Amino acid sequence: MTLPTPHGFGDDERSRRLRRRPPPEALAWVERTLDVRVRSVRAYKGGSSSAIHGLRVERRGGAVDTIVLRRYVLEHLNEEEPDLAEREARVLGLLDACAVPTPALLAVDDTGAEAGVPTVVMSRLAGRLEWSPPEVEPWLVRLVDVLPPIHEAPIVEGVPEFEPYEPGSWDPPAWLDRRLWDRAVAVFHGPRLDPDRVFLHRDYHPGNVLWRRGRLSGVVDWQAACLGPRAADVWHCRSNLLSRFGLTVADRFLALWQERTASEYHPWTEAVMLIDVVGSRRVRPPEEQQALAGLLARRLAELGG
């Protein structure tokens, strides 16, 4: 069985654009700000909202290190969320309180006045992404076990409240029953029914978790961090597992999380987050469409809708 390409690893035009070499002005800003000399640049795969490069830099005295340059280069995203770099820098400054390894903030140009676009520079964490584990069950357990220390981080100031993302269109996709969609939209616009409120990564999935010798070496991409129901991180990971491996693996991840944390998985959180996934207009194979429609129907039924 050939698995779909992992999130952010495609070779479409947007992906190629994100992997282009940073312009001279961005590299010159890094050199001025950090008092280093950039010796080499390497594009990182995996990102879909920003251009991420590893910079091999030489410091005064000759020490050589690798740092990470993240540039928000997508115009539409900067128009919708002009504070992305500033938000990420603020969260990185709070993560000393989080028990999982995270990058350290080195520099930020929140407006792009010097680097050309909003830009964050951070330390590099050793490790690699793992999208094709040799054994799925122990890999899912490891992914589950990363979440409690994130959710237990005593961070309650400096990050926004959770809000489900709106869909790309409020019209249902052609493959979804209109009545099901209308019930889901009503729940989306109704009161928040899950009172859980903890520190969230908000973009948790295998593409943001680094491993080294089978152990967690870091969690990256914190610009969406917020306070809200822990089920939001669980569903976001589930949605990525669903696209990559199918519903059986996604459901197993949820079952393991419930077993190992004894936490409630509130149907409201998945229902309102499904709106964005279902309404994204992304081309999906029929089996994924069926799985998403079934999940939405199940969660609405659990809510009494």
pLDDT value at residue 109: 98
Residues 37 and 183 reside in one and the same domain: no
**4, part of any domain:** no
**237, part of any domain:** yes
**162, part of any domain:** yes
Residues 118 and 147 reside in one and the same domain: no
**8, part of any domain:** no
**130, part of any domain:** no
C-alpha 200, offset from chain centre:
11
Q: In terms of pTM, does the model score above 0.85?
A: yes
Residues 144 and 76 reside in one and the same domain: no
Residues 37 and 161 reside in one and the same domain: no
Across the range 192-208, mean pLDDT stands at 97
**131, part of any domain:** no
Residues 215 and 165 reside in one and the same domain: yes
For residues 238 and 254, the answer to whether their CB atoms sit within 8 Å is: yes
Residues 43 and 105 reside in one and the same domain: yes
Please tell me the total count of domains within the chain.
2
Confidence of residue 49 (pLDDT cuts 50, 70, 90): confident
**183, part of any domain:** yes
Residues 161 and 289 reside in one and the same domain: yes
Structure-derived torsion over alpha carbons of residues 54, 59, 62, 66, reported in degrees to the nearest 10: -20
Residues 244 and 156 reside in one and the same domain: yes
**7, part of any domain:** no
| 123: β partners | 67
Confidence of residue 172 (pLDDT cuts 50, 70, 90): very high
Residues 157 and 202 reside in one and the same domain: yes
Domain containing residue 253:
136-302
Across the range 160-185, mean pLDDT stands at 95
Taking CB atoms within 8 Å and a gap of at least 24, the contacts of 104-107 are 106/34, 106/67, 107/30, 107/33, 107/34
User: What percentage of the chain has pLDDT greater than the value 90?
Assistant: 85
Residues 177 and 49 reside in one and the same domain: no
- CATH of residue 189's domain is 3.90.1200.10
Euclidean distance between CA atoms 149 and 140, whole angstroms: 16
For the cut 90, the answer to whether the pLDDT of residue 168 exceeds it is no
